[in-house]
């Protein structure tokens, strides 16, 4: 089945590497002045991380596709549709101060890559 992000075709064998690592229940633990634990739990409606990864040996994208994705990364507050093997998710890029929402590396380094040049990559998303 196909994988697309906002209409951009991605390799259909990408791996959702953190699919089973998320829990919809959050917990906050505090201590009272007497030392008793105050535990608060609640269900999260959204926020599941969706990290999609190719490998150095497979599931590559072209520079042209990477540039399309980079255009979306540079659009603030963009909600997109991720179609992942028949299921649609509304997502945003997961941004942090120390990490780009898309990490890529050339498969074969060259000083002048063209649009057909291949890259391995990871995309960091979150469901909203």
User: How high is the pLDDT of residue 54?
Assistant: 85
- 3-127 belongs to which CATH class? mainly beta
Q: What is the pTM of this model?
A: 0.86
Residue spans of the domains in the chain: they are: 3-127
Phi-psi region of 71 (alpha: psi -120 to 50; beta: other; left: phi over 0): alpha
Residue 14's CB is within 10 A of a number of other CB atoms, namely: 21
Token pair, residue 4, equals: 């697309």
Render pLDDT for 47-88 as a digit per residue (tens, 0 to 9): 999 999 987 788 899 999 999 999 999 999 999 999 999 999
Residue tagged 């780009």 (tokens): 100
> For residue 33, is pLDDT > 90?
yes
| Mean per-residue pLDDT over the chain, rounded | 93
Token pair, residue 68, equals: 């399309």
Residue 1's CB is within 10 A of a number of other CB atoms, namely: 8
């Amino acid at each position: 089945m196909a994988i697309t992000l906002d209409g951009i075709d991605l390799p259909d064998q990408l791996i959702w590497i953190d699919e089973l690592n998320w829990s919809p229940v959050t917990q906050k633990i505090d201590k009272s002045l007497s030392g008793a634990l105050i535990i608060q739990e609640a269900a999260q409606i959204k926020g599941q991380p969706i990290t999609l990864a190719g490998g150095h040996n497979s599931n590559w994208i072209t520079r042209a596709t990477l540039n399309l994705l980079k255009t979306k990364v540079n659009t603030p507050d963009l909600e997109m549709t991720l179609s992942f093997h028949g299921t649609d998710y509304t997502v945003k890029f997961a941004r942090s101060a120390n990490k780009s929402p898309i990490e890529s590396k050339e498969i074969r380094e060259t000083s002048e890559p063209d649009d057909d040049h291949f890259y391995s990559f990871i995309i960091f998303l979150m469901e909203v």
